[in-house]
Chain A
Amino acid sequence: MSDATLPGVTLTAPRRMGHAAFWLAAAAVGLAVILALRGIGSEYVYFVSTIVLQYVVLATAWNILGGYAGYVNFGAAAFFAAGAYATVAFGKAMGLGLLPCIGLAAVVGGALGFGTGVLTLRLRGAYFAIATLCLSVVLQTIVVNWSYVGGSRGAYVLRPRDVPWPFETYSGFLCAVLVVLAAASVAIARTIETSRLGLGLAALRDDEQAAEATGVPTLRLKLVATTVSGAMMAVAGAPLPFIGSYVEPGSAFGLSYAVNAIAMPLIGGTSSWAGPLIGAVLLSSLQQAATVTISSAANLLIVGVLLVVFVCAAPHGIIGLFRGRR
């Protein structure tokens, strides 16, 4: 008997929440988080949450190219720093506040992502990864020698005295902005994943030539992925100068951003929007806990150990563990 004639065969495709419903759910969760954080009202909790949420945006953004399309970007720190320095440059040049600077950082990051894509997307595997790593080195060298944004000595960014209503402190406002950015980035990632674009990216990740042979315009899709991913990574970095009121090349282009951007999706699972979210919350919370209980130097050690454990024991991340049990 052929498979086609098997009685009672039904597809087991899971019912998916629609795009609009997911965006609404993300907005509701975001609002709940903002209210919960406001209820706690601690400056330290605001600070820690801001860092964790920044990593949620960064990891989710990285995963759009690295996870969905399978192009490993070692230059996450370059995009993150591009966002941070876009805030410094536009803030200084035009006196803009955080929100417009985030928008402009997205434009800068998107343009940088598009340019990187045009130059490097004909490369594959390790060659693409090395090219993106070089981007980080080139960009850092430019910033170090650009005195307008502080050069190697860094730049100070003063927080505005007026705190937007209804927030009581600027830290609370900053944290709420990051909640919105994190919710939006997760919703964008999920929208891409479950759309025609996500299907095409998954196809080219598995086999680029076969994807082309089935009508997928692989180069165009990769350019879309690098642009969106670059824009979102820059958005993650845009609030950085306001978090510490100071930014310098060594920290903005820091190894921790490049490593975490890769490690968080890998630990959470790269095949789903939930993977980078879980990985970022888990790993950055652990790092913050280690910072206050052990030392800040333990951060990368934790990342390294967890990465080795997950690569060996759970190559598809936490999400993969759950899917494997079903």
Chain B
Amino acid sequence: MSDIVLRADGVGKRFGGFTALSGINLEVRAGERLGLIGPNGSGKSTFTNCLAGAFPSHDGGFTFKGEKLAGLKSHERARRGLARTFQLPRPFRGLSVIDNIRVPLAYAGREAATDEAAMACLESVELAGKASRMPKELTQVELRRLELARATALKPDLLIADEAMAGLSHTEVDQILALLFRLNERGTTIIMIEHVMRAVTEFSQRIAVLVAGKKVADGDPRAVLSMPEVEEAYLGR
């Protein structure tokens, strides 16, 4: 189908004798908002790292915009429009806020690396006023916004927001959600990996659930969250 932006075919990943992911099949449509949830250790971050190219997958593979990603390094995937944020904000601490944005602009080559383009990215996350500050001067929610701005500077077709709301207050979660909605409205497909269930249910058009490295559910959010397997995974028997 032509509107499939990402397809995972039987993705598997092992760390020594431990199987972190097993036979993950997943399709994400262009412009979709997908929630990827699961308890700690279920393989969400491993899936993200395999997709972003940080880890090689042992079985299966990904197809992104019709192109196989096998063999492509992280920076090559980023240049093709696959962006990610990290669970804990990882700004370039030796660079100012605007220089943090200049890096993807200069290297991903999907937009001219001008001051105007960098400022536009910062304005989109309401950080324009702190362009010349250093990351250590930012609050936690501002660091999250900087992560998102750096990812959006890649002009991504697909963004994986990996726990972008962890540790934030109710109001701050709403701010990040609003940013993600705006980004999605501009055409970016978003996979939200999150433990804040209010955010996931509010944001996602579809939810996939990983448990112990396997996908146990995939579908309408309300239906998925009421499935016994999902309740069991989160609450136990």
B131 touches A206 (CB 8 A): no
Cβ-defined contact, A217 with B130, below 8 A: no
Contact with A along B119-134 (1 / 0, CB 8 A): 1001100111111100
Bound Cα distance from A28 to B107, whole angstroms: 34
**Contact check: which of B73, B96, B132 meets A212 at CB < 8 Å?**
B73
- In the bound assembly, the distance between CA atoms of A238 and B73 in angstroms comes to 38
A202-B84 in contact (CB<8A): no
* B129→A9 contact, CB < 8 A: yes
- Residue pair B128, A206 in contact (C-beta under 8 Å): no
- Say which residue of B74, B84, B99 sits within 8 Å of A199 (CB atoms): B99
Say which residue of B94, B108, B127 sits within 8 Å of A202 (CB atoms). Answer: B94
Task: Say whether A203 contacts B74, CB under 8 Å.
Answer: no
**A154 interface residue (CB < 8 Å to B):** no
Interchain Cβ contacts within 8 Å, total number: 105
Residues of chain A from 185 to 217 with CB closer than 8 A to chain B in the complex? 196, 199-200, 202-203, 205-207, 209-217
Q: Which of A200, A202, A210 contacts B90 (CB 8 A)?
A: A210
Near A by CB (< 8 A), chain B positions 94-120 give 94-96, 98-99, 102-104, 106-109, 113, 115, 119
A88-126 vs B, CB cutoff 8 Å, 1 = contact: the mask equals 000000000000000000000000000000000000000
Contact A203:B115 (CB < 8 A) given known A209-B74, A209-B90, A215-B75: no
Residue of B94, B107, B123 near A214 (CB, 8 A) is B107
- Chain A residue nearest in CB terms to B153: A214
A212 engages B103 (CB within 8 Å):
no
Q: List 30 A–B pairs whose Cβ atoms lie within 8 Å, in order of A's numbering.
A: A3-B127, A4-B122, A4-B128, A4-B129, A11-B119, A11-B131, A13-B115, A13-B132, A196-B113, A199-B103, A199-B106, A202-B99, A207-B90, A207-B91, A209-B54, A210-B92, A212-B74, A212-B75, A212-B78, A213-B74, A213-B75, A213-B84, A214-B75, A214-B78, A214-B103, A214-B104, A214-B150, A215-B103, A217-B73, A218-B75
